[in-house]
Amino acid sequence: MLKKRLVGVITVRDGWAVQSFGYRRYLPLGHPEKLAENLDRWGADEILVLCIDRTRRNVGPDFDLLRRLGSLGLSTPLAFGGGIRTVAEAGAIIQSGAERVCIDAALRDAGVVGGISALVGAQAIIGVLPLSFDGAGLQRLDYLSGRSTPLTAADLSLFDRRVVSEALIVDWRHEGMTAAFDFNLIRRFPAPDVPLIAFGGVSEADQLKMLFDDDRVAAVGIGNSLSYREHAVQMLKRQAGGTSIRAARFVSDSR
Amino acid sequence: MTEPAMTENSFCRRCLYSIDHPLGLVLDEEGICSGCRIHEEKDRLDWNARWTQLESVVRPYRSRDGRNYDCIVPVTGANDSYYIVHLVKERLKLNPLLVTYNKYFNTELGIRNLANLRIRFDCDILTQNVNPVSVRKITGTTLRQFGSVYWHCLAGQSVFPVQTAVRYRVPLVIWGAHQGLEQVGMFSHEHEVQMTRRYRKDHDLMGVEAGDLPSVFDTLTEEDVWQYRYPDDGSLQAVGVVGIYLGNYVRWDPKTQHELMMSTHQYRTGRFARTFDCYDHVDCFNYMNLHDQLKLYKRGYSKVTDHACREIRHGRLTRDQGLALVRYYEQRPAENLDLFCEWLGVTPSSLAFLMDLHRNPQYWRETAPGRWEFKGWSSASGAAAAPLEDVRSCEFTATGKVDTRERRSYIVIGKGYPT
């Protein structure tokens, strides 16, 4: 059985790593490459860098940041997203050293996503779905307009057809809150065969364990709270326990 | 980072910070910065409940048999050290081991304050003296490489307590306030952020750890920097080292706290040329002078802006009054540069040349050889500044002198002082 992954999520806004709360409030954290370097040393299973303002500003991916990340020589797989508009941009991200690309707004353009998939392979594409549960069903947020609409079969077509390998399910309403992830987003997700990455409001080990126990969940992303204490990744791994994830590691000689 | 031209929209509408703050700063849709928003928590949180939370946090760390210290407390002869030790020893009733790093740029006032601190609070203290040859070499390198004479102080002050926690197997390190939280609202108080190696490197050390300093193009070697290396993850984990910040549990207000310590524990203060706050950093000849001038060269603002922002947030200054103070102080010449030149072994003109290399063209324009026009934060803030005589609502009292004039050199080793 493949191990499940604890993904360290670095949210980037205007070049700075930030804490993000509900897609609307932000606090500065530091330099994204310093957070990535740290997650790498801590033994995160994947690092996901999401530049959240690139699409809105229509400025394309932040290749300067990607170059700085590439120069770190990270041993942890890197996924990179934000601002991707074209097949060429996605290809350039992979050529710059990221293992995977994260597609958000462009997910609505099946032609572009299909082209990216043909170029880099479906395994290298994560699709971002900001969702909420309104009591009746799942709602998908268009973060550019701020409007939520019911999640439809069309929204899932790229996932069902394996054009995109995994869905990053973002509980955007609870993003940044403590132990607040809405499990309905996983339980009610209508495509049972699509591997899911749960993100938003996950901060505690018992949540992590519950999510890892769900067959549909391939990975769990954690952002803000990883910056609150030393060895946050290792502590979560130890507390969540089990054999489904790689064991915690503590580097014993930093020289 | 993107570096757009500064406009009024680059600044917080409440304080004087801009989005160019080196720790990062976020303005919300109302134009209020993250630091001011987090500061609002100081008037919203139940601080009695926060204190109870602190008591529960430290409880597991009390030595059961009294044969070891309960915690490590980093101190200096200034800053918030008195108040921190007061909270730890007199209110939490913990038995701390005080630790201090000898920064070499010591003032008599700082040596006196430190001696008085350990005597009045009746605490054991451990001092780290790194050999002066290495400290000078490091200072020369960091000044050349990234315009900092203070890297060794910041690195030493932030690593020696953690090294001591590992060596003495005392896992709890208690710090005062979290700079990132206080200045730019990096975290909520309720996040109860702890010390991390990442924050230290990213912010305290300007992105440069000890291991990054030696280079084939320099004389600095591993033998010079190893004392500043952070303990590895395995060592930290084996002891269970945790660094907590009292500012998450106590309504942090340095002015009020210092004044309490002045009246109850004889903490002494002194005036500086470049800021109105005479309570912070009176232990150091350079922090408010050479270090502060370099900050202005590199960052476009200086410590007086930090002090003004803090006082604006605490309601003791208006924004206009703060800006008036900044404009009054920030271009004043740094004092005691001669002491630094003598200590490092450079001429004043060499120092000036090295400093000019680090003037940020975003904030400085050389109009003629050696003549510079300032384009920094205070020049772009725009708003009219209040007349300086209106700034009486925020008085700071000097009870001593930073520069005693009787002794025109650093106190490179100061073991005690007749209090």
Complex-level ipTM beyond the 0.90 threshold: yes
Mean pLDDT per 10-residue run, chain A (255 residues)? Answer: 91 98 97 98 97 96 97 96 97 97 94 97 97 95 94 94 97 95 97 96 95 96 98 95 86 66
Q: Is the pLDDT of residue B269 over 90?
A: yes
Cα separation, A50 vs B64, whole angstroms: 47
Token match 């409880």: residue?
Answer: B59
φ/ψ of A184, rounded to 5, equals -60, -30
What pLDDT, on a 0 to 100 scale, did the predictor assign at position B403? 75
| Degrees to nearest 5, angle at CA A73 with A67 and A76 | 105
What pLDDT, on a 0 to 100 scale, did the predictor assign at position B2? 46
What pLDDT, on a 0 to 100 scale, did the predictor assign at position B407? 62
pLDDT tens figures, B337-352: 999 999 999 999 999 9
CA dihedral B111, B114, B119, B125 (to 10 degrees): -110
CB distance A230–B23 less than 8 Å? no
Q: Closest partner residue to A254 among B23, B207, B230, by Cβ?
A: B230
Query: What is the number of CB-based contacts under 8 A between chain A and chain B?
Result: 107
What pLDDT, on a 0 to 100 scale, did the predictor assign at position B390? 64
Q: At B216, is the secondary structure helix, strand, or coil? A: coil
| Average pLDDT for chain B | 94
Q: Closest partner residue to B233 among A17, A30, A250, by Cβ?
A: A250
CA dihedral B347, B352, B353, B359 (to 10 degrees): 160
- Beta partners for B126? B99
What pLDDT, on a 0 to 100 scale, did the predictor assign at position B382? 67
What is the least distance, in Å, from the CA of A231 to any CA of chain B?
A: 8
CB distance A251–B211 less than 8 Å? no
What pLDDT, on a 0 to 100 scale, did the predictor assign at position B410? 85
Confidence category of residue B409, pLDDT binned at 50, 70, 90: confident
What does the block give as tokens for B66? 């009294």
What pLDDT, on a 0 to 100 scale, did the predictor assign at position B179? 98
Cα separation, B193 vs A11, whole angstroms: 18
Q: Is the pLDDT of residue B405 over 80?
A: no
Q: How many helices (H) and strands (E) does chain A have?
A: 9, 12
B80-83: long-range pairs with CB below 8 Å, 24+: B80/B176, B80/B177, B80/B254, B80/B257, B80/B258, B81/B113, B81/B114, B81/B117, B81/B176, B82/B113, B82/B117, B82/B258, B82/B261, B82/B265, B82/B267, B83/B176, B83/B257, B83/B258, B83/B260, B83/B261
What is the least distance, in Å, from the CA of A145 to any CA of chain B?
A: 16
CB neighbour burial string for A113-146, b if at least 16 within 10 angstroms, e if fewer: bbbbbeebebebbbbbbbbbbeeeebbbbebeee
CB distance A25–B211 less than 8 Å? no
Mean pLDDT of B37-50: 98
CB distance B26–A252 less than 8 Å? no
Contacts of A53 (CB under 8 A, 6+ apart): A12, A13, A14, A82
CB distance A254–B241 less than 8 Å? no
Q: Closest partner residue to B196 among A26, A229, A255, by Cβ?
A: A229
Confidence category of residue B391, pLDDT binned at 50, 70, 90: low
Q: Closest partner residue to B191 among A13, A35, A228, by Cβ?
A: A228
CB distance B236–A230 less than 8 Å? yes
What pLDDT, on a 0 to 100 scale, did the predictor assign at position B412? 78
The secondary structure element, H or E, covering residue B52 is: helix B47-58
Token match 């600095």: residue?
Answer: B220
- Neighbour-count burial of B307, counting CB atoms closer than 10 A to its CB (0-12 exposed, 13-18 middle, 19+ buried): buried
What is the least distance, in Å, from the CA of A116 to any CA of chain B?
A: 28
Q: Is the pLDDT of residue B334 over 80?
A: yes
- Beta partners for A219? A5, A197
What does the block give as tokens for B240? 């269970």
Mean pLDDT of B263-281: 96
Token match 């409940």: residue?
Answer: B49
**Cβ count near A90 (within 10 Å):** 29
Cα separation, A49 vs A7, whole angstroms: 10
Contact A48, A81 (CB under 8 A): yes
Q: Is the dihedral of CA A208, A209, A213, A219 positive or negative?
A: positive
CA dihedral A19, A183, A164, A120 (to 10 degrees): 40
What pLDDT, on a 0 to 100 scale, did the predictor assign at position A252? 86
The domains located in chain A, with CATH, are 5-246 (3.20.20.70)
What does the block give as tokens for B246? 């009292």
Minimum CA–CA partner of B33 in chain A: A27
Selected for mutation to probe chain A from B2, B9, B26 (highest A CB count within 10 Å) is B26
Q: What percentage of chain B has pLDDT greater than the value 70?
A: 95
* Neighboring chain B residues of A253 at a CB cutoff of 8 Å: 232, 234
Selected for mutation to probe chain B from A14, A21, A26, A29 (highest B CB count within 10 Å) is A29
Q: Is the pLDDT of residue B74 over 90?
A: yes
Confidence category of residue B180, pLDDT binned at 50, 70, 90: very high
* Neighboring chain B residues of A227 at a CB cutoff of 8 Å: 187, 193, 196, 198-199
B102: closest CA among B417, B397, B415?
B415
Cα separation, B403 vs B5, whole angstroms: 39
Cα separation, A213 vs B382, whole angstroms: 57
- Beta partners for A167? A127, A196
What is the least distance, in Å, from the CA of B179 to any CA of chain A?
A: 12
Q: What percentage of chain B has pLDDT greater than the value 90?
A: 87
Q: Closest partner residue to A230 among B1, B194, B211, by Cβ?
A: B194
Reading phi first (left if > 0) and then psi (alpha if -120 to 50, else beta), residue A176 is in left
Q: Which string of DSSP letters, residue by residue, matches B244-263? A: EEGGGTS---HHHHHHHHHH
CA B404 and chain centroid, separation: 23
Q: Which string of DSSP letters, residue by residue, matches B275-291? A: -S--STTTTBSSTTTHH
Contact A149, A139 (CB under 8 A): yes
What pLDDT, on a 0 to 100 scale, did the predictor assign at position A1? 59
Contact B315, B369 (CB under 8 A): no
- Beta partners for A200? none
Minimum CA–CA partner of A43 in chain B: B233
Q: Is the pLDDT of residue B1 over 60?
A: no
Describe the strand order of the beta sheet including B172-175 as a list of residue ranges: B124-128, B96-101, B71-74, B172-175, B242-245
The secondary structure element, H or E, covering residue B294 is: helix B290-299
CB distance A255–B229 less than 8 Å? yes
CB distance B233–A251 less than 8 Å? yes
CB distance A230–B242 less than 8 Å? yes
What does the block give as tokens for A217? 């969940």
Confidence category of residue B419, pLDDT binned at 50, 70, 90: low
Q: How many residues are given for chain A?
A: 255
What pLDDT, on a 0 to 100 scale, did the predictor assign at position A255? 44
